[in-house]
Amino acid sequence: MGRLNVDLCGVGLDNPVIPASGTFGYGHEFAEYYDIDCLGAFSFKGTTKEPRFGNPQPRIAECAGGMLNAVGLQNPGVDRVIAEELPRLAKVFHKPVMANVSGFSPEEYAYVCERLDKQPQVGWLEVNISCPNVHGGGMSFGTDPEAAAQVVRAVKAVTAKPVIVKLTPNVTDVVSVALACEAAGADGLSLINTLQAMRIDLGTKKPLLANVTGGLSGPAVFPVAVRMVYQVHEAVHIPLVGVGGVSSAEDVIEMMLAGAAAVEIGAANLTDPYACRDIIRDLPAVMDRYGIQNLRDIIGGAHG
């Protein structure tokens, strides 16, 4: 095995770097910039049963230390993803891909996951119970342990591939939700999704986003993500994917020391399309600087 190799729910990765859902489309856009086969994997755009046009404009806003988004899960729906996006992806990415799934009921999550589970390109199902920018679904499942467990049980009943549940930071006790997902059969957890936030336009004196609130991502949320990954690693016995404000090779190593087996990079892709490629390139030198021989040996290394 190479120095950067890790394992995620029984699937081997050449390196732990995974572009996060919603920041990398369905892959082929970024393949115009570089060979995306250098990635460990990537999580494609959040997919729902029916097509979604997303929230009204404006739905993106910059802020100090990151950005706000209220895109609202814009996607073509699972049928078109399978018929159109995955065949296009197969031309530019030749490794297992993570399928990010959202829904508005346990049955809808199960329907989409069952369809995607049958696709040979899909290595993992990332079940998003944490999107703060849709009404009547998404984060509402992730803030209640039993509701989260219901979604996990529904998905696990119809799938064979690893199910990774994406958790929200917009709770007072993320560990209780993590434990409920593990007990319901989740194979892994990814955390965190964006923090609910807002800005006000001084000129109009109204909320800057049409949705009023949006999800805060970028370097500002990194310390929160590290804290939550650390806490959840102390409590569960399934692999974690750390996500939230990661923008450098040093951040990847810090997240892995907190307990992440792999690391997703989100907002950094939106400011620099080469971010993930460059982080992978930089990892060996940073590992040498800190005396790290193999990344898989440092997972959870910050714990006593």
CB 20 within 8 A of CB 243: yes
CA distance 114 to 126: 13
State the Cα–Cα distance between residues 168 and 192, nearest whole angstrom: 6
Please give the positions annotated as active site.
131
Pairing of strands 214-217, 6-8: unpaired
Residue 189 φ/ψ, nearest 5 degrees: -135, 140
What HEC string does 16-42 produce?
Answer: CEEECCCCCCCCHHHHCCCCHHHCCCC
CB 186 within 8 A of CB 164: yes
Residue 190 phi/psi, 5-degree rounding, is: -120, 140
Q: Give alpha helix (H) positions in 38-171.
A: 78-80, 86-90, 106-117, 139-142, 145-156
The bridge status of strand 122-128 relative to strand 163-166 is: parallel
Q: Are 97 and 70 in contact (CB under 8 A)?
A: no
Q: Virtual CA dihedral for 289, 244, 80, 147, nearest 10 degrees?
A: 130
